[in-house]
Amino acid sequence: MSTLPFHEKVGYAMGDAAANLVWRGALAYLAVFYTDTFGLSAAAAAMLFLVVRLSDGVTDIIMGMVADRTDSKWGKFRPWILWSTPFLALFMVLCFTTPALSDSGKLVYAYVTYIGLTLAYTVNNVPYSALMGVMTPDDKERTSLSGFRFAGAFAGGLLVMGFLPQLVAYFGQGDDAMGYQYTMYLFAALLAVLMLVTFFSTKERITPAVNSNASLGSEIGDLLKNLPFIILPLLAMTLFFYYRNGYSALFFVIVFVGMGLLIKRLLKQPSTNISGTQQDMIDLLTNKPWLILLGIGFLTMMFNGIKYGVIAYYFKYQVGDELMAGKYFIALLIVSILGALSTSYFSQRFDKRKLFIVTLLASAVLTAAFYWVSADNIALVFAFGCAAEFFAAMMPTLFFSMLGDSADYSEWKNGRRATGLIYSAGTFVQKTGGGFAGALVLVVLASYGYDGMRPETIAASLPGMQLLMSWIPAAFAFAAALLMCFYPLTSARNEDITLTLIKRRNEPSMA
């Protein structure tokens, strides 16, 4: 099992540095841009974040299927990085543009541009994430590659979150709307350059067997027939999350009980009655490591998303220094790069499952302790935030590395490998968690009466901001640590699976 060249790991990392000019920027600043510059209410912005998650549920899975069935001279996944980059850069700019529209017109514009951004991100990032699974068959090299990836991601985030307030102030000269627009022009140009570096510097080495002889069009048609499996659970979660009343709770229970019965029935069907898309779904639903990782991905993204989503509000109103948020982001992201790069070192010495549990518990405890930290004690704010972030930075690194392990497990168990589909679900739960996290921040602030256009509402919302910096995100990390206790793939078992798969791939075909 060969080691990936250093330059290829760095080149791969540049792709997530580029993606995080969008992802971290939207996650950290889009909410406060919508409420304080664009003029949307916190409640309207919260619903926007939730509704967009519904479209992601469909598009991520479709994109995973499309990527798995792509066959080009550049491979399955690399061409999509190239083709999607112009659209990603365009919608990045449009999302932070402030046209002169009525209140209803602004809301429509926000929906169109934000959905456009998430679609472009899906077409780009699902294949990018899956690319990791075919660059090397070695699970240890995937962990190392994942560490480089998220070091790049945090470096891209550092540019946006660390310098965006200063760039907005510099370009806008008091006009935040203009400042955001010109800042996004700069970031969009940088994004295009970094994506090209990734495209030209990486190589696909694993060529999975084709899972079906059906055409892509017929399989997408088959997927559309099974959309209730995707849409109804997401709709139930959204309604329950946003409205939190008896009717939404009843709908939530009915949908999930009904879906459970339908899935149980599907699993009992003879293979001759099952379509290719349904077989993919069955493979995933019987993949215990993958199912647990989906829950882990959602919970950890809620944890990280809530923490990052409230920072701009916290420093603007609790600390009273909006520009200090940029310095705080810089500190967090420098620590994040160190945490991501150290993940490979620790995972070679400790079982990945145990390491994940330790990182979750340590970060949760440090984050919960933030509740008792005074906003006036800036040194302590930075100390607790950075300490928690060192462990939190290992979470996505381990998560995407372990998704590759679950793809190996599926191929070992079923003789089928849908790398794009497995990683598309991973990126989907990450984006879903991010969307729900951003919405939860706004829902909590709205419940305390926050209105960014009315200064008199700020004081009453300060306790909510303190909870959003501490106990609320910590609860999701504690839940993720409990769930990870049930993850079945140890380092020894991963090594056995890897060796078995290498032997199988090297065996001559009997066809």
Q: How far is Cα 437 from Cα 299, in angstroms, rounded to an integer?
A: 10
Q: How far is Cα 199 from Cα 87, in angstroms, rounded to an integer?
A: 16
Instruction: Count the Cβ atoms, other than its own, within 10 Å of residue 395.
Output: 26
CB of 135 closer than 8 Å to CB of 8 = yes
Q: How far is Cα 20 from Cα 26, in angstroms, rounded to an integer?
A: 9
pLDDT band at 234 (very low <50, low <70, confident <90, very high): low
Per-residue pLDDT of 478-487, as tens digits, reads 999 999 999 8
197 vs 444, more confident? 197
CA atoms lying within 13 Å on the CB side of residue 277: 20
Average pLDDT, stretch 336-358? 85
Q: Which of 147, 155, 153 is nearest to 398 (CA)?
A: 147
Q: Does the domain formed by 6-206+215-506 have CATH 1.10.287.1080?
A: no
- What predicted TM-score, i.e. pTM, was given to this entire model? 0.68
Q: What is the pLDDT of residue 11?
A: 93
284 vs 187, more confident? 187
Q: What is the pLDDT of residue 193?
A: 95
Judge whether residue 134 has pLDDT over 80. Answer: yes
Q: How far is Cα 419 from Cα 408, in angstroms, rounded to an integer?
A: 9
pLDDT band at 14 (very low <50, low <70, confident <90, very high): very high
Q: How far is Cα 214 from Cα 198, in angstroms, rounded to an integer?
A: 31
